[in-house]
Amino acid sequence: MIAKTAAAGGPTLLPEVLAFTSSLSLDRALIREDLLGSLAHLTMLSRRGIVPQEQARAIREGLVSIWDAVQAGTLQLPDEEDVHMAVESLLTSKLGPTAGALHAARSRNDQVALDLHLYVREQCAEIFTSLVKLLSSIVERAEVESSTILPSYTHRQRAMPITLSYLFAAYGAMLARDIDAFSFVLQQADASPLGVGAIAGTSLPIDRQLVRELLAFERITANGLDTVGDRDFALDYAYASSRLLVHTSRIATDFVDFASPEFGFIRLDGAIACGSSMMPQKRNPDLFELVRAKSGAGIGNLVTLLVDMKGLPSGYNRDLQEDRGPILATGPLVRSVLEILELGIGRVTFDKMRCLQAVEQDATQATDVAEALVQKGLPFRTAYQLAGTLVRACQDARVPLANVTTEMAQAVDPRLDDEVLAAARIRGAVARKTSPGGTGPDSVREQLQSLREVVTRTKARVESIPRVATLFAQLREASL
* Euclidean distance between CA atoms 447 and 47, whole angstroms: 52
Indicate if 155 belongs to the active site.
yes
- Alpha helix stretches (DSSP H) within 144-264: 164-189, 208-214, 224-229, 232-259
Q: Tally the C-alpha atoms within 13 A of residue 79's C-alpha that lie toward its C-beta.
A: 10
Backbone dihedral angles phi then psi of residue 154, each to the nearest 5 degrees: -125, 140
Q: Which one of the listed residues 84, 276, 435, 464 is annotated catalytic? A: 276
Confirm if 106 and 197 have CB atoms less than 8 A apart.
Answer: yes
For residue 268, the cross-strand partners are 348
Confirm if 208 and 197 have CB atoms less than 8 A apart.
Answer: no
CB contact set of 241 (below 8 Å; sequence gap of 6+): 127, 298, 301, 302, 330, 331, 333, 334
Confirm if 110 and 194 have CB atoms less than 8 A apart.
Answer: yes
CB contact set of 233 (below 8 Å; sequence gap of 6+): 116, 117, 120, 185, 188, 189, 191
Measured CA distances, 390 to 152, 219, 387, 407, 416 (Å): 21, 65, 5, 12, 9
- Interior/surface letters 329-366, b for 16+ CB within 10 angstroms, e for the rest: bbbebbbebbebbbebbeebebbeeebbebbbebbbbb
User: Among residues 139, 349, 176, 342, which one has the least CA distance to residue 258?
Assistant: 349
Indicate if 276 belongs to the active site.
yes
Q: Tally the C-alpha atoms within 13 A of residue 456's C-alpha that lie toward its C-beta.
A: 6
CB contact set of 86 (below 8 Å; sequence gap of 6+): 24, 28, 31, 77, 78, 80
User: Among residues 35, 104, 55, 61, which one has the least CA distance to residue 477?
Assistant: 61
CA torsion, ordered 115, 118, 121, 125, to nearest 10 deg: -110
Confirm if 45 and 105 have CB atoms less than 8 A apart.
Answer: yes
Backbone dihedral angles phi then psi of residue 194, each to the nearest 5 degrees: -65, 135
30's enclosing H/E stretch is none
Q: Which one of the listed residues 155, 203, 464, 479 is annotated catalytic? A: 155
* Euclidean distance between CA atoms 342 and 295, whole angstroms: 16
For residue 348, the cross-strand partners are 268
Environment class of residue 111 by beta-carbon count within 10 Å: exposed (0-12), middle (13-18) or buried (19+)? buried
Positions marked catalytic: 155, 276
